[in-house]
Amino acid sequence: MTLRGWRERMSPRDGGLEAGGERHIPGLRREEPARPAGMSVDYLVLLEQGRAQSLGPSGHRTGTRTASRPVRA
């Protein structure tokens, strides 16, 4: 599963967030997984597009914790 696919399958509730406002498309907004992972939205876009050079050790740890949350089917 791609990073974007994971983000699109998550709901705010799955990510431990409160749903804020109406959503035009399902899934998390880019800033919702980026913020707890300690990265910018721009960097998350680069990761989704496969254009990021590297993710530092702290980003790997935080990203793993964020990505390990259960995904609702």
Inform me whether the pLDDT recorded for 35 exceeds 80: yes
Inform me whether the pLDDT recorded for 42 exceeds 90: yes
| Calpha distance 62→39 (Å, rounded) | 10
15, 32 Cβ separation under 8 angstroms: yes
Could you tell me the pTM of the whole model?
A: 0.60
